[in-house]
Amino acid sequence: MNAADPKVDELTGLPTKEAFEKECKALFAHAQESNTPLTLATADIDIFMSVNQEYGHAVGDEVLRVLARTLKDLASEETMVFRYGGDEFILLFPNTSREQAFLIMEQIRAHVEENNTYGDAQVDATISVGIASYPIDGTATDELLRKADQALYRAKGAGLNQVLLAHDEKMIPKTTHYTETQLERLSKLADHFEVTEARLLREALDDLINKYKDP
C-alpha cells in the first residue's frame, strides 16, 4: 500500500502547508530577483466549528472540498492554492499587486456567499480573507504571512465575510524581563538569521498566540 503524499491534502487534493513553504520560498526569491510583486492571501471559513456542529463533519468536509474547487476555479491560472491546515487556505499570486489580488479574492468571497449548496445541504458559509504583498507589506516570507494573518484577524473582528489588506500596526512598548542567557541566545539567533531581535520576539509571540488561540 502506497503511503499518502504529505504534500497533497487527501480531502481537497490541494498542496499542503509543506508544499506551500517550499513554493513560497521559490516564488519569493524570484520576486526579489525580478523586482516583481508577490501577493499572499490567507482565507478561512467563518465560524467553521458551528458548521460541523450543526450539519455534521461530512457536510463540513464537503464545504472544504467545494471551497477548494472555488479557489482554484476563480483564481488566475498562475495563482497557487494550498490547504494550510484545518479550514485555512493560502493563495500565492506571482507578479500580482495586492490590489489585483484583492479584486480576485473579493469575487471569490462574493461567490461563496451567494452559493450555499453543499451536496444535499444548504449552508450559509462565508469566508474572511487577509492580504499582504511583497515588497509593500514586507521583505520576508514570514513577514508577509504574519501581515496577512493580521489582516484576516481584523476581518474576523470587523464582522466576518470580508477581504482586508494588510496595514502597518502601531507598535506598543511593553516592558519584559529576560534572563542573561536568553538574551545571549536571542542575539546569536538574530546574527545567524540576519534579522533583528525584535522581529524574532514578535514571531515567537505570534506562534504562542496561534498555539493557544483566542480565549
Neighbours of 127 (CB within 10 A): 26
Is 46 among the catalytic positions?
Answer: no
Q: Describe the crossing of helices 141-157 and 197-212 by its angle, rounded to 10 degrees.
A: 50
Burial (0-12, 13-18, 19+ Cβ within 10 Å), 171: exposed
Annotated active-site residue in 9, 87, 137, 149: 87
| φ and ψ of 134, to 5 deg | -85, 135
| Cα(24)–Cα(17) distance, integer angstroms | 10
Annotated active-site positions, please? 87
